[in-house]
């Protein structure tokens, strides 16, 4: 009965089914963007704070699923869009698997690299310092430092 009421309301307001579907599609796109932005914000937060993302076991029955999933669960209690996507949405589109986490971190790292490269191109003067040493695990480690002078800043 509510579908009929919805139809008569739309008809009286001269709204077509196509426009209704289009508006619902736009709302779904906005919800999807909100969810993926939230996931990316948590990945950036954990990366900046040097917080480990993954736990020992990331299954539903585990007491501690890792910092990333626990933070996402905490936000889902206060954000209805995240809650709906995380618990009621399709299981293959939650963006919480360890492979997706690694891929999103890789994408964020590429964006940082591109930003630094663009700044170096725009800068008139820059220098590069490279140093290598052996770490505690007897593995070679290399640090790469880029300094630039931006005339506009």
List the single range of 10-19, 31-40, 104-113, 132-141 with lowest mean pLDDT. 10-19
Full DSSP string of 44-93 = HHHHHTT-----S--STT-S---HHHHHHHHHHTT-HHHHIIIIIS-GGG
DSSP lists the bridge partners of residue 119 as none
CA 27 to mean position of chain CA atoms: 19
Closest CA to 20 of 33, 30, 9, 31: 9
Q: Report the C-alpha gap between 63 and 118 in whole angstroms.
A: 44
pLDDT above 90: residue 11: no
Place of tokens 């936000």: 75
User: Domain ranges in the chain?
Assistant: 2-149
DSSP symbol at 136: T
Give the DSSP H/E element, type plus range, for residue 97. Answer: none
Q: Report the C-alpha gap between 92 and 100 in whole angstroms.
A: 11
pLDDT digits (tens, 9 = 90+) for 75-115: 999 999 999 998 888 888 888 888 988 999 999 999 999 99
Residue 39's pLDDT is 92
Residue 10's pLDDT is 73
Residue 36's pLDDT is 92
pTM for this entry: 0.70
């Amino acid at each position: 009965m509510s579908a009929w009421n919805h139809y008569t309301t739309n008809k009286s307001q001269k709204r077509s089914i196509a426009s209704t579907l289009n508006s619902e599609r736009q709302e779904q796109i906005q919800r999807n963007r909100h969810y993926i932005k939230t996931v990316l914000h948590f990945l950036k937060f954990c990366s900046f704070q040097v917080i480990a993302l993954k736990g020992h076991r990331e299954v539903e029955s585990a007491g501690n699923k890792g910092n990333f999933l626990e933070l996402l669960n905490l936000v889902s209690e206060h954000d209805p869009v995240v809650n709906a996507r995380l618990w009621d949405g399709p299981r293959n589109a939650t963006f919480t698997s360890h492979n997706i986490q690694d891929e999103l971190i890789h994408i964020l790292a590429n964006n940082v690299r591109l930003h630094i490269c663009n700044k170096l191109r725009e800068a008139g003067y820059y220098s590069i310092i490279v140093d290598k040493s052996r770490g505690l695990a007897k593995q070679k480690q290399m640090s790469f430092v880029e300094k630039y002078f931006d005339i506009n800043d």
